[in-house]
Chain A
Amino acid sequence: MQPDSREVYHDGVVKRLVQFSILWAVVGMFVGVYLSAELIWPGLDFGQFWLSFGRIRPLHTNGIIFGFGVSALMATAFYSVQRTSNVPLFMPRLAWICCYGWQVVVLFGGLSLLAGWTSTKEYAELEWPFDIAITVLWVCFAVVFFGTIATRRIKSIYVSNWFYGGLIIVIAMLHIVNNLAIPVTYNKSYSLYAGAQDAIVQWWYGHNAVGFLLTGGFLGMVYYFLPKQANQPIWSYRLSVVSFWAFTYTYIWAGPHHLHYSAIPEWVQSLGMAMSLILLAPSWATMINGIMTVSKAWKKLTVDPALKFIVLALAFYGLATFEGPMMAIRSVNIVSHFTDWTIGHVHSGALGWNAMITYGTFYFMVPRMMGRELYSVRLANIHFWLALAGTMLYILAMWGAGVSQGLLWLSIDELGEVSYSFTDIMASMVPYYGLRLVGGLVFLSGTILMAYNLLRTMYGRHTVMVHPPEVIDELKGTRHNPDAVMGAPAANGTEVPA
């Protein structure tokens, strides 16, 4: 079926989601900076319960993951699924409900965390009314996304959609199972699982929220935006598909490495460790595939801020997915567990990988959607270096803090007693925490620059009307999506900025 000439891609909702994502990025990172300052100057909460570390730390993680991260995932999924299916979004009104509904959940969910409503489970802290709202909105997201694919005009489903699809399906499964609880009042519930079993279920969820949301979903971004921006086909389509299945199968097993030396069965820990090591293979396969894709377009890397962010993100993806399996080894985990090393590892993923690739896609999409060039390439380049410097300072500080904590905690003197008191070790962290604060501030200032740059680019313009291109008969049956893989210039109606 050929597209109707009046059909246009629904980019308004994409633009709005990008704006919300930027908003939550700034808010979430600001809260993070504030938290890191509280660890140096504990009086910064001014005796206010809602500024207390234990309440705003979940606000930081949830704001970043669900506000910044999921809004960006919805934006890029909606943008790319239309263009890889050659059809406008299925049920665009539902997409708008999804967009605004999600922001309401993030806003009120965040406030509820400040009020002390929490189920305590990491990245699933929100209490049961929010869990239900998230489930409903997630189904809306799934209907729009899979509906668009179901009405596609290209025979095969392009690989970026496999990753977004994996995100939607697996997160739904994890979210529902992990949050099963008996509600007591509107703000309190008791988990269906207790003790060690609760721990196993939670880290099956927690690790795979990282796996399928912060990794799988963002790999969907890689597979659409990297070939487009590099103007090169994916180096090996076969490798992308093989690593998709290996990734989807293996990731799920790795959760128990969060529970090494705890009171869960040892075979569960060992299996989690083994699978974590195996996970290195699909992770690096994807990274290599991405780097090889850009290898014929290195020159573009010197002038194109979007591509710079995407390629740097892949490098940090490689770093974090190497570090993770290493930390999952029991003998390494003895040192790293419960320390700031874990925090550093999370941020080499969250800052270096998730935020960077998201920034890359924003610098890609916004000029195209607005039909004008980026307000300032110079500002985007400054942002790039601030983001890189901030991330490096952050993770270097946390490596220093984490390794010294781990070793000092375990240090035993010749009498068989612990060498250092806990509080002395804790107090010696101030220089590292100071460096981390600087790193966070640098990263945040880069994000604010981007917010200004992109808002100036969007200012006073509507999104350009983009019609789905006509499908040429001989392309209908091909495996590879012509738009995404060949890196063809965007469809009629858009001026691709040089």
Chain B
Amino acid sequence: MKYHGVTLHRKLENNMGLLIFGILFVSAIGGLVQVLPSIFQDSLRQATDNSHLYTAVELTGRDVYIQEGCHVCHTQQVRPLLAEVERYGPFSRADEFVYDRPFLWGSKRTGPDLHRLGGKYSDDWHRVHLLDPRSVVSNSIMPAYPWLEENMATDMGDIQKKMRALQTLGHPYTDEDIAAAPEEIAGLTEMDVLIVYLQILGTGLSEEQR
């Protein structure tokens, strides 16, 4: 018994195949016990009244948000702490994110949290702010995004392909939704669709939970 560990060690250090298997096995345990159950937990993946399915325009706006790396400086995760609820609004719930691929919670708040941004400012404010942040927030350190006004939303990739891919993943888009999508984004700039996305952020939360 006393030498059991030593003999196992001798086997591992003399047998590469066994060592590889040992590393894989030992490192996989954590994921199997901690991550895998979460993947099968319904409350983390099933839509409720709080879940909002992105329209074609919102989805394209979200992809602009991703392309510009807004998530690098802005979180979308209001923590259930008094100061955060005071500052931003109701804390974030898991069922609000079931259509978020990928999740955009972020890890750094160089700028403020955006999860409850929707409806707080006018569309015009957002447009001016994105073109020249310091004209509306004098001490802002946010970059300006002048090119968003010049690029068309259709440049963001085939919207129908995107919606079909998400349909495969279980997002309940109808064939009519997908058929109508190109027309919905036609003529809009990247700026337009981004603002539409910003304006619905966090607005899906049902009234009784606010």
Interface residues, chain A, with chain B CB atoms under 8 Å away: 38-40, 42, 45, 47, 49, 52-55, 57-58, 116-122, 146, 149-150, 155-157, 162, 165-166, 169-170, 173, 177, 182-185, 187-202, 204, 212, 241, 245, 248-253, 256, 258-259, 261-265, 268, 271-272, 275, 334, 337-339, 342-343, 405, 409-412, 416-418, 422-424, 426-427, 479
Contact = CB atoms under 8 A, between A and B. Distances in A.
A55 B70 CA distance: 9
Interface residues of B, number: 81
A149 B80 CA distance: 51
B68 interface: yes
B156 to A, nearest CB: 8
Contacts of A118: 66-67, 69
Contacts of A409: 83-84, 87, 109
A426 B97 contact: no
Interface in B139-166: 139-147, 157-158, 161-162, 165-166
Query: Most A CB atoms within 10 A — which of B19, B29, B111?
Result: B19
B73 A197 contact: no
Query: Most A CB atoms within 10 A — which of B139, B147, B158?
Result: B139
Contacts, number: 253
Given A182-B168, A272-B34, A195 B44 contact: yes
Query: Most B CB atoms within 10 A — which of A39, A156, A184?
Result: A184
B1 interface: no
Contact of B165 (A162, A190, A252, A275): A190
B16 A146 contact: yes
Determine chain A's interface SS by DSSP, over half rule: helix
Interface in B1-50: 9-10, 13-14, 16, 19-20, 23-24, 26-31, 34-35, 38-39, 41, 44-45
Contact of A194 (B28, B83, B103): B103
Interface string B70-105: 111101010111111011000011101111111111
Given A194-B103, A264-B94, A426-B139, A200 B27 contact: no
27 contacts: A42-B134, A49-B147, A54-B68, A57-B72, A58-B69, A58-B72, A146-B16, A150-B16, A157-B13, A157-B14, A157-B16, A188-B63, A190-B162, A192-B169, A193-B101, A212-B27, A249-B27, A250-B30, A252-B30, A263-B92, A264-B38, A265-B38, A271-B34, A338-B106, A417-B86, A422-B111, A426-B111
